[in-house]
């Protein structure tokens, strides 16, 4: 769908500052639609010879009322004479009101407001609403429509959207959250029921209407600043009740109402965000707890490694020593994963990030290289849930260790050849829609004759088989490299295991 900027560039000759003015208007016009209980349409006019064309640059529906238009109208082009009220607003630069008959018994009330910037009409904002059939309006409705009319006058007078208003990414309060109408002296003229409830929670027990805004507990600085700077001001107030120790959070957004540069009042939208803020705090503390736990696990693993190393030094038998040495390496692989988990904010890990550190763990275990080895990593594995990462890390370490231990035995390099070619160990990662494949490819001597993974009795491949088939529901294969030397060890993990507990694991291809 085309954006406001795209539509304006292709259909009108609005320059950047005017376009920015319309974008500012559109960024806060949900408020206007809610106040007017009506659809708002923003019309631009064709440039040059196309001046008899109107293009719909924007549309917003009210959350307080029903929409006239179910379909998406953005980008539609109209002949100017089909929208006479909008055209008249363009021509005269003043607000035009009227009724348009759109069917046997459907009269649409239209208010066409010129959007003026530096004395020039940039666009026309049309408020369109089915005429209510003898329905009496409530005080609230009359008040809101009255406030809308004041905003409309500001739009026509070039005073809205405000200049240099701070833009916020967070969801600011809406009309339905609570609205206060304040006069130029800071007295509350009107308060919606939700606003009254919020003020009661803030400790205001007296009647709200007629009270001074200063007495609401929302802070009078906000209102003064909005009046003085003639722009919207947003404030968040946190108050702790002394007796109950409950802390309350209220966001308020103050819009001054202006007439010829003078503030004649303001509306303040208020929203009780106590519950939201409490949840935010909980999430933050959960997050730090998880990190702290990973950190401690990592430290504990290091302690275990040191204990095993100490014990290995006291042993005499070579076999026993190397067995403990291997355990130290296996624990090292798990530590690497915990290091990564402790740093990342969520439970998912970009698996490629831990491959390099794992290679280092294996490289360190090669005590006296008979032949230099070159490790390379290809492809991307995408993100993988924390638990799967731990298991895969152990599996990958075993496969790397086997390549180091068995693919390049001493006898495979002639002692008198001098500088031998480095042996290559390539780790290939591939993420597809059906799962993840991790391959360790070496160019060594190849598997022994008659080798079968299912019957391998070494501890390494037993661990790999148990983890891959049991924990990951995946498959393992070891086969010779096609048309070449060496071995391919491949592990495949089905896609169903790669989705985190929240089902949001991201696929790098997606």
Ligand X SMILES: Nc1ncnc2c1ncn2[C@@H]1O[C@H](COP(=O)(O)OP(=O)(O)OP(=O)(O)O)[C@@H](O)[C@H]1O
- The site for ligand X (CB under 6 A) is made up of 326, 402-403, 405-407, 442, 444, 447-448, 456, 458-461, 487
Pick from 382, 423, 460, 474: which binds Mg ion (CB under 5 A)? Answer: 460
For the bound state, the minimum distance from the C-beta of residue 383 to ligand X, rounded and expressed in Å, comes to 28
Q: Looking at beta carbons only, is 369 or 501 nearer to ligand X?
A: 369
To the nearest whole angstrom, how small is the minimum distance from the Cβ of residue 286 to ligand X?
39
Least separation, in Å, of the C-beta of 354 and ligand X?
20
DSSP assignment of 229-279, as one string?
Answer: HTS-EEEEEEEE-TTT--EEEEEEEEEEEEETTEEEEEEEEEEE-HHHHHH
Q: Residue 105 or residue 452: which is nearer to Mg ion going by CB? A: 452
Could you tell me whether strands 373-380 and 423-432 are parallel, antiparallel, or unpaired per DSSP bridges?
parallel
Q: Which does 487 bind (CB under 5 to 8 A by kind): Mg ion, ligand X, none?
A: ligand X
DSSP codes, 271-331: EE-HHHHHHHHHHHHHHHHHHHHHHHHHHHHHHHHHHHHHHHHH---HHHHHHHHHHHHHH
In which order are the strands placed within the sheet that holds 247-259? 188-191, 179-183, 262-272, 247-259, 233-240
- Residue 223 binding target from Mg ion, ligand X, none, CB below 5 to 8 Å by type: none
Question: Position of tokens 């001001």?
Answer: 233
- 32 makes contact, choosing from ligand X, Mg ion, none, with CB < 5 to 8 Å by partner type, with none
User: Which of 346, 442, 326, 327 has its CA nearest to residue 389?
Assistant: 346
Task: Report the alpha-carbon distance of residue 414 to residue 168 in Å, rounded.
Answer: 70
Nearer to Mg ion, 59 or 330 (CB): 330
- Report the residue number, 161 or 460, with the smaller CB distance to Mg ion: 460
182 binds, among Mg ion, ligand X, none (CB under 5 to 8 A by kind): none
Which one of ligand X, Mg ion, none interacts with residue 382, CB within 5 to 8 A by kind? Answer: none
Q: How far is CA 20 from the centre of its chain?
A: 25
Smallest separation (angstroms) from ligand X to the CB of 352? 22
How far apart are alpha carbons 252 and 267 in whole angstroms? 10
Query: Considering the complex, what minimum distance in angstroms separates the CB of residue 468 from ligand X?
Result: 13
Q: Which is nearer to Mg ion, 45 or 330 (CB)?
A: 330
Quick check: 198 binds Mg ion (CB under 5 A)? no
124-128-131 Cα angle (round to 5)? 150
Output the smallest distance, CB 381 to ligand X, in A.
20
Q: Identify which of residues 1 and 454 has a Cβ nearer to ligand X in the complex.
A: 454
Q: ∠ CA(479), CA(485), CA(490), 5° rounding?
A: 30
* For ligand X, the closer CB: 291 or 465: 465
Q: Please, what is the minimum distance in Å from the beta carbon of residue 493 to ligand X?
A: 19
Q: What number of chain residues touch Mg ion (CB under 5 A)?
A: 2
Task: Report the Cα–Cα distance between both ends of the chain, in Å, rounded.
Answer: 21
- How many CA within 13 A on the CB side of residue 44? 29
DSSP code of 421? P
Ranked by CB distance to Mg ion, the top (closest) residue is 460
Whichever of 187 and 321 has its CB closer to ligand X, that residue is 321
Q: Taking CB under 5 A as the rule, does residue 402 contact Mg ion?
A: yes
Measure the CA–CA gap between 55 and 1, rounded to whole angstroms: 15
CB of 341 to ligand X, least distance (A): 26
Binding site for Mg ion (CB under 5 A): 402, 460
């Amino acid at each position: 769908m085309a954006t406001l900027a795209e539509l304006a560039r292709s259909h009108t000759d609005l320059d950047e500052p005017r376009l920015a003015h319309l974008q500012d208007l559109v960024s806060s016009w949900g408020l206007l639609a809610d106040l007017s209980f009506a659809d708002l349409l923003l019309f631009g006019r064709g440039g040059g010879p196309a001046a008899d064309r109107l293009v719909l640059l924007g549309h917003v529906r009210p959350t307080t009322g029903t929409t006239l238009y179910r379909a998406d109208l953005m980008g539609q082009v109209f002949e100017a004479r089909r929208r006479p009220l909008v055209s008249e607003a363009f021509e005269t630069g003043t607000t035009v009101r009227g009724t348009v008959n759109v069917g046997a018994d459907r009269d649409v009330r239209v208010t066409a407001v010129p959007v003026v910037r530096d004395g020039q009409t940039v666009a026309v904002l049309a408020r369109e609403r089915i005429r209510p059939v003898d329905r009496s309006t409530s005080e609230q409705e009359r008040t809101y429509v009255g406030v809308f009319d004041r905003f409309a006058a500001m739009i026509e007078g070039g005073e809205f959207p405000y200049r240099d208003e701070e833009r916020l990414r967070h969801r600011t309060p809406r009309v339905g959250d609570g609205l206060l109408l304040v006069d130029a002296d800071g007295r509350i003229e009107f308060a919606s029921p939700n606003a009254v409830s919020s003020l009661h929670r803030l400790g205001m027990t007296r009647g709200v209407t007629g009270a001074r805004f200063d007495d609401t507990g929302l802070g009078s600085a906000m209102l003064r600043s909005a009046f003085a700077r003639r722009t919207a001001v947003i404030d968040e107030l946190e108050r702790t009740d002394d007796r109950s120790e409950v802390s309350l959070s209220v966001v308020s957004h103050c819009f001054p109402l202006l007439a010829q540069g003078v503030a004649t009042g303001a509306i303040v939208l208020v929203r009780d965000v106590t519950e939201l803020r409490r949840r935010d705090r909980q999430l933050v503390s959960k997050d730090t707890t998880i990190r702290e736990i990973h950190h401690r696990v990592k430290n504990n693993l290091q302690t275990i490694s040191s204990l095993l190393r100490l014990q290995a030094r006291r042993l005499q038998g070579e076999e026993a020593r190397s067995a403990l040495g291997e355990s130290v390496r296996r624990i090292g692989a798990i530590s690497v994963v915990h290091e990564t988990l402790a740093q990342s904010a969520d439970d998912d890990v970009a698996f490629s990030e831990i491959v390099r550190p794992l290679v280092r763990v294996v490289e360190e275990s090669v005590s006296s290289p008979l032949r230099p080895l070159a490790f390379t990593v290809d492809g991307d594995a995408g993100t993988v849930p924390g638990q799967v990462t731990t298991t895969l890390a152990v599996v990958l370490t075993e496969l790397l260790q086997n390549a180091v231990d068995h693919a390049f035995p001493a006898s495979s390099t002639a002692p008198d050849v001098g500088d031998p070619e480095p042996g290559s160990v390539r780790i290939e990662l591939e993420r597809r829609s059906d799962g993840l494949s991790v391959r360790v490819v070496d160019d060594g001597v190849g598997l022994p004759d008659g080798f079968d993974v299912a019957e391998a009795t070494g501890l390494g491949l037993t661990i790999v088989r148990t983890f891959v088939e049991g924990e990951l529901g995946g498959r393992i294969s070891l086969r010779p490299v096609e048309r070449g030397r060496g071995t391919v060890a491949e592990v495949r993990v089905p896609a169903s295991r790669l989705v985190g507990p929240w089902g949001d694991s991201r696929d790098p291809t997606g």
